[in-house]
Amino acid sequence: MRLRRLGPDDWATWRGIRLTALGSDAAAFGSTLAVEREFDEARWRELLAPERGVKVVAEDPDPVGLVAGVPHEVHSDALYLYSMWVKPEFRRRGVGEALVGDVLAWAREHGWSRVRLRVFQDNETARRLYARLGFVGEGETMDRPLTTVS
């Protein structure tokens, strides 16, 4: 497996894995397959613009997972981790940990002081993963300060 950070020219790769994720686990996302299926190439490229943060895919050799880190709309010191998803047959194999780790590394490289995410309280598998990676929080919001050594 390899991780790859995407740019605008990788729009078809991001589109493919994102639509697969939305079709597989619709309830896990804030958007829908029907909405994003209508995005044109320009919209997909815009989502991958450098000022929109980082988008990462795990490949084996085709995409098997994705995650995004974008500037948080409210908390200017936080990068927001979202759209974390791994194909079911690749879960519990370290893919999610690798994806999150790459977003954390990118955040440090770009001077973010923390990474924030939302995870449903009943999603124990994801909560355990995020806790193992240093995220803390009792509600649906979990934070990961980046000023500590990991």
CATH code for position 22: 3.40.630.30
Entry pTM: 0.90
* DSSP class per residue in 44-100: HHHHTSGGG-EEEEEESSSEEEEEEEEE-SS-TTEEEEEEEEE-GGGTTTTHHHHHH
In a domain, 114, yes or no: yes
- The pLDDT, as a whole number, for residue 96 is 96
Rounded Cα distance between 56 and 4, Å, is 6
pLDDT in tens, 81-126: 999 999 999 999 999 999 999 999 999 999 999 999 988 888 888 8
Report CA-CA distances (Å) from 68 to 81, 89, 138, 149: 6, 21, 22, 22
pLDDT in tens, 44-66: 999 999 999 999 999 999 999 99
In a domain, 71, yes or no: yes
Q: What is the count of structural domains for the chain?
A: 1
Asked if residue 143 has pLDDT above 70, the reply is yes
- The pLDDT, as a whole number, for residue 147 is 65
In a domain, 150, yes or no: no
Q: Which range of residues forms the domain containing residue 115? A: 2-145
